[in-house]
């Protein structure tokens, strides 16, 4: 399975920090009902069989909605359960399905494209609490990356409804969000609003 620009419009990255009283799978389903177009399982606390079980649960939900499902950093697990792909850092390329790669400048973006990346996640677009060590990149860098590569580019890092439209005009095809979906009381409604804003942002690139 490969992905197109439309698949990347609203890319939901999971975080179990806000799943108290429910399950991550249930939260993902709420996000999908609200219009999330892509799901990445990003799990920093589970390992082994527990992680595999969670991945299978969320994969099943994504398949019901016909939405691509990738796993952060774990190429072996992605292959084992036949996930649609992986999202990796600059040193981890190597999968035979969807490969998403993080990039922070034009050089990394071009190198990732040469090595077979299917899409790029660039950022941090804004200051973010999930990766405080990640440096913020400016609009000029985002625009330069989008102009230099032929593969789809999405922004990640600190994106929320209040600042999403600040990313207009840079050539992005979508945005990746974490807390703007999973930290909300009404995940479905929050996702629906983000989807509409992402449509407006991406429409400016067409």
Instruction: Name the residues annotated as catalytic.
Output: 42, 102, 131
Angle, vertex CA 87, rays to CA 197 and CA 204, nearest 5? 25
* Three-state secondary-structure class, residue 155: strand
Would you state the structure tokens that stand for residue 42, as one six-digit string?
Answer: 């990003």
Cα–Cα distance between 59 and 53 in angstroms, integer?
10
CB atoms inside a 10 Å sphere around CB 186:
11
Strands (E) across the chain are located at 10-13, 38-41, 69-72, 85-88, 98-103, 119-122, 153-156, 174-177
Please give the distance of CA 160 from its chain centroid, rounded to a whole number: 13
């Amino acid at each position: 399975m490969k992905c197109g620009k439309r698949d990347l419009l609203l890319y939901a990255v999971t975080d179990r920090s806000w799943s108290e009283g429910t399950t991550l799978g249930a939260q993902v389903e709420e996000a999908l009902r609200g219009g999330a177009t892509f799901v990445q399982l990003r799990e920093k606390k589970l390992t082994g069989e527990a992680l595999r079980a969670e991945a299978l649960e969320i994969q099943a939900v994504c398949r019901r909605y016909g939405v691509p499902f990738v796993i952060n950093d774990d190429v072996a697990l992605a292959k084992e359960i036949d996930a649609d792909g992986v999202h990796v850092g600059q040193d981890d390329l190597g999968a035979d399905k969807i490969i998403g790669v993080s990039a922070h400048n034009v050089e990394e973006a071009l190198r990732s494209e040469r090595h077979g990346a299917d899409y790029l996640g660039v950022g941090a677009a804004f200051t973010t609490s999930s990766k405080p060590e990640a440096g913020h990149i400016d609009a000029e860098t985002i625009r330069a990356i989008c102009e230099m590569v032929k593969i789809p580019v999405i922004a990640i890092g600190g994106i929320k409804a209040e600042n999403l439209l600040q990313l207009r005009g840079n050539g992005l095809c979508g945005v990746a969000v974490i807390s703007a979906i999973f930290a909300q009381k009404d995940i479905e409604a929050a996702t629906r609003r983000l989807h509409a804003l992402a449509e407006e942002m991406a429409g400016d690139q067409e």
